[in-house]
């Protein structure tokens, strides 16, 4: 009974996260903070899709992983169109045109065949290419903004990406499709997440609501970091399942934080 209840809770949580992210992205881009948020979400999705693909290859949380992959692909497509249409400068528009080209190849690898180790290695490489361009666009939009709020949206949005990046590398290593840099990149992302969380928590612009939301992120980070560093506490599938669950939970909390920073009007 407890196991079934736990699965129901996980299922509901996954649906709420999917609807929450999709709902936040439904409205057209109305201002620069909204653009930075969606640009940053494209960064995150580049890593989340690879994570879900690897989880399918591992046979981990298959139903939820499939929903995560499908909803992430659809959301990436929609936001890319919005960002291309919104691009306020020729340089930013050029970045999103390049991202569109890279995305076509990445998307084909994600959906062209059932997850397999050879495809997994290709997905890992392409996820890095798409991430680089998505990050470039986000940084360009932040610079175009020139505000403290824009910077905080970018930093907090990057935390979403890092949460999925750590999950991606953990699952790639577990499945045996990682490259020579995966373990080091996972550790680098872990350190960057910790440092950025401290920076965000100390931001003078934080409202009481933001302080509470960041505190919740800190609590979820405790569980996620434990899942990432667990050793010998269960079989490989169980360990990967723990990472799958905790990476989605911290993403949900970070979506709330980014949304709050997006509403700031600090110059």
What mean pLDDT is reported for the chain? 91
Q: How confident is the model at residue 3 (pLDDT cuts 50, 70, 90)?
A: very low
> Which span out of 18-22, 51-55, 230-234 was modeled with the highest average pLDDT?
51-55
pLDDT tens sequence across 164-191: 999 999 999 999 999 999 999 999 999 9
Q: What does pTM read for this prediction?
A: 0.89
Residue/partner pairs of 215-218 with CB below 8 Å, 24 or more apart:
216/253, 216/256, 217/159, 217/250, 217/253, 217/254, 217/257
- pLDDT class of 235 with cuts at 50, 70, 90: confident
**pLDDT of 18:** 54
Give the per-residue pLDDT at 15. Answer: 54
Do the beta carbons of residue 130 and residue 71 sit within 8 Å? no
Is the per-residue pLDDT at 5 higher than 90?
Answer: no
Average confidence (pLDDT) over 124-136:
98
The span from the CA of 212 to the CA of 246, in Å, is 19
Structure tokens at 42: 């494209």
Helical segments of the chain, H only:
2-26, 32-58, 62-86, 90-111, 117-145, 148-175, 182-201, 208-229, 236-262
CB 54 within 8 A of CB 175: yes
Is pLDDT above 80 for 12?
no
DSSP states of 148-185:
HHHHHHHHHHHHHHHHHHHHHHHHHHHHT---TTHHHH
pLDDT at residue 4, rounded to an integer: 52
What contacts 134, CB < 8 A, 6 or more positions away?
Answer: 39, 42, 43, 46, 99
Is the distance from CB of 169 to CB of 121 less than 8 angstroms?
A: no
Q: Nearest 5°: CA angle at 224, between 218 and 229? A: 125
Flag the least confident range among 1-5, 19-23, 58-62, 81-85. Answer: 1-5
Separation CA 245–CA 232 (nearest Å): 18
**Residue 20: pLDDT above 60?**
no
């Amino acid at each position: 009974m407890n196991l079934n209840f736990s699965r129901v809770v996980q299922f509901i949580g996954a649906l709420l996260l999917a609807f929450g992210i999709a709902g936040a992205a439904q409205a057209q881009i109305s201002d620069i903070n909204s653009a930075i948020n969606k640009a940053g979400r494209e960064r995150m999705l580049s890593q989340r899709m690879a994570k879900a693909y690897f989880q399918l290859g591992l046979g981990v949380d298959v139903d939820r992983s499939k929903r995560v992959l499908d909803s992430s692909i659809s959301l990436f497509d929609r936001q890319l169109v919005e960002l291309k249409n919104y691009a306020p400068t020729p340089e930013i528009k050029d970045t999103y045109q390049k991202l569109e080209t890279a995305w076509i190849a990445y998307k084909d690898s994600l959906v062209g065949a059932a997850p397999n180790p050879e495809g997994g290695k290709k997905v890992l490489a392409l996820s890095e290419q798409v991430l680089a361009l998505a990050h470039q666009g986000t940084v360009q939009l932040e610079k175009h903004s020139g505000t403290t709020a824009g910077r905080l949206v970018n930093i907090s949005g990057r935390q979403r990406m890092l949460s999925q990046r750590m999950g991606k590398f953990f699952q790639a290593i577990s499945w045996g499709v990682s490259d020579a840099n995966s373990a080091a990149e996972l550790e680098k992302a872990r350190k960057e997440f910790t440092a950025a969380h401290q920076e965000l928590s100390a931001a003078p612009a934080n409202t009481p609501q933001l302080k509470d939301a960041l505190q919740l992120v800190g609590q979820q980070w405790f569980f996620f970091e434990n899942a990432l560093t667990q050793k010998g506490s269960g079989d490989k599938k169980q360990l990967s399942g723990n990472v799958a669950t905790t990476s989605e939970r911290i993403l949900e909390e970070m979506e709330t934080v980014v949304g709050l920073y997006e509403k700031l009007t600090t110059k």
